[in-house]
Amino acid sequence: MSRRDAGDREPGRSGPGRRDAVRGDAVRGDAVRGDAGTRGSGRSGTARRGTDGAAPRRRRVRVPAWTATLTWKAALFITVMCCALAALLGALVHTGMTRETVGQSREKALARLADATVAYQTGEAMPPGSGIDLPGLPAGLRALAVSGERGTLVGNLAGHPVMWAAAPADGRALAAVVDYGQSARTIDNLDRAIVGSALLAIAATVLVGAFAVTRVTRRLHQTARVARRIGAGDLDARVADPRTTDPSRPQDEVAIVAGALDTMAATLQRKLQTEQRFTADVAHELRTPLTGLSAAAELLPPGRPSELVRDRVRAMRALTEDLLEISRLDARTERVDLAVYELVPLVERVVRASGTETAVRIADPGPGRPGRPARVRVETDLRRLERVLGNLVANAHKHGRPPVVLTVDGPVVTVRDHGPGFPEYLLTDGPQRFRTEGAGRGHGLGLTIAAGQAEAIGAELAFRNAPDGGAMARVVLPEPPDPNGCAPDDDAPGDGARDGGTTGGGGGSESGPREEG
């Protein structure tokens, strides 16, 4: 007759009321065919909403900015992949080892049970570790044997892991037990070795991966820094990646990007230099015939046509001088002569020279700013600062609406009109040569020259529109190390109107027009 064997469970993996059945056909030492068992059921729950049926609102978690870096993402990806691989390999090794040790212990238990069965049938003494209804025999395995089936089960006897085997014997359970402690310890040691090796492997892989990724990101950061320098106007900046200059070295993606950036910068520099040379050459070539044309215009007889010719000649001459000045600013060849000057007389002289109705106001220090000197001194190049302020005043009158106010507040000079304000492109990108709002509104050189001269003397020039309308140009001038030092008053004489006074002036200014609409 055929009998079936109850299945085995490794120690620590089964609890009360949980068992596996391994069924077979032979009475003695038969091969195990299949497993069947009963497992304890766990609790299951259902997520519930609030009584009003609405799901709770999730708060958005703000993650640190460094988690968006390529190094962090690569390290996280490597860590996750290593953990997944270690878990898979560990599970395979653990499962294989467990099956092997459980199979060996099952064979021992079944062999002892076969000897006990022979002894029971012949009436001989039972082998050690076997008997009828042994104490500690699991109730599930006992019930399986009483029902006429044979089985094995990993369990505990007095807190020690053992392998049980049981078979029916005249309505009772004939059982045999063998030690499973050594096998359980072997599996536990193997698990610890797997976990330790996996952690070491993950740590080593993450360190090596982070080092490799950091080398790539360092080159990317260098490329980004060079790109920002080029964007700021430094066209001599280059990445100069060794992989792009040595054909024998293989080029990766970062080297390709660096080489493309260097090529772009070189091409842009050549085109800009060509444009600068063309501008300078045109201005120089026009200067000589314009000088002769100006002399010839002065010989014309008095009259309206002659005045129109002289006016156009003066405009052409001013444009030529502006082009020459821009070419010198682009070449950065001019020397800056810095000295200390009193700002208020200098500003008043610029207004008088402009020949415009421009109000000069000196800001009141007020109670909140005690100790500010009434005589403000700045360290600057006189000619260049006069050029900056003259261009700003001329632009305000040409493109804005009165009143035009020039305010001195310490080392800060603000020129404001009450017209339509600066165009959006100028506020975003700054002054651009030959770009104006509408036809017949200048050549777009005035503010370009003002910005270049301000940069040359170390001043900050900013443009914005007033909230209540009008354009505002703000010049922040560097102060001398010793504010109380002597200023060459001979270069900036005169006392102009203050606190809203208007200063009229003499001759006209050659300042360029503003690029606003």
User: pLDDT of 59-111, one tens digit each?
Assistant: 666 767 666 777 788 888 888 888 898 889 989 998 998 899 899 889 998 99
Cα angle 284-288-289, degrees, rounded to a multiple of 5: 120
Query: Does 262-331 match 339-503 in CATH topology?
Result: no
CA distance 400 to 398: 6
Least confident interval from 58-72, 134-148, 159-173, 274-288: 58-72
Give the angle 251-254-255 at the CA atoms, nearest 5°: 40
> Could you give the C-alpha distances from 457 to 349, 384, 399, 501, in angstroms and in order?
19, 7, 26, 28
Q: Coil, helix or strand for 283?
A: helix
pLDDT above 70 (res 39)? no
Phi-psi region of 355 (alpha: psi -120 to 50; beta: other; left: phi over 0): left
pLDDT over 60 (residue 485): no
List, for residues 149-205, the tens digit of each pLDDT value: 989 998 888 888 999 999 998 888 899 999 988 888 888 998 999 899 889 988 888
Beta carbons of 172 and 146 less than 8 angstroms apart: yes
In sequence order, what are the residues at sequence separation of 6 or more whose Cβ sits closer than 8 angstroms to the Cβ of residue 63? none
Residue boundaries of the structural domains of the chain: 1-36+64-234, 262-331, 339-503
The CATH number fitting domain 262-331, selected from 1.10.287.130, 3.40.50.10320, 1.20.1250.20, 1.20.1630.10: 1.10.287.130
According to DSSP, the β-strands at 412-416 and 358-362 are unpaired
Given a cut of 90, whether residue 226 has pLDDT beyond it is: yes
Structure tokens at 363: 């800001």
Q: Per the confidence metrics, is the pTM higher than 0.85?
A: no
Average pLDDT of the residues in 219-241 = 89
Tokens in use for 35?
């497993």
Cβ pair 152, 110 in contact under 8 A:
yes
Distance between CA atoms of residues 379 and 341, nearest Å: 6
Q: Count Cβ atoms below 10 Å from residue 181 Cβ, excluding itself.
A: 11
All residues at 6 or more sequence positions from 383 whose CB lies less than 8 Å from its CB, including other chains: 337
> 């021992």: which residue's tokens?
108
Q: For residue range 406-419, what is the model confidence (pLDDT) as tens digits?
A: 999 989 999 999 99
State whether residue 313 is helix, strand or coil: helix
Tokens of 437: 């709002």
More confident residue, 328 or 106: 106
CATH, domain range 339-503: 3.30.565.10
3-state class (DSSP) for residue 123: coil
Q: Tell me which long-range contacts 458-466 makes (C-beta under 8 A, separation of at least 24).
A: 458/380, 459/380, 459/385, 459/388, 461/388, 463/422, 463/426, 463/427, 463/430, 463/431, 464/422, 464/427, 465/421, 465/422, 465/427, 466/416, 466/421
At position 261, the amino acid (one-letter code) is L
DSSP lists the bridge partners of residue 20 as 37
- Cβ atoms of 449 and 279 within 8 Å: the answer is no
95-99, 184-188, 244-248, 367-371: which has the minimum mean pLDDT? 367-371
The larger pLDDT score, comparing residue 313 to residue 113, is at 113
Percentages of the chain per state (helix, strand, coil), in multiples of 5: 45, 15, 35
> What is the per-residue pLDDT for 460?
92
Contact 89, 175 (CB under 8 A): no
Percentage with pLDDT > 70 across the chain: 74
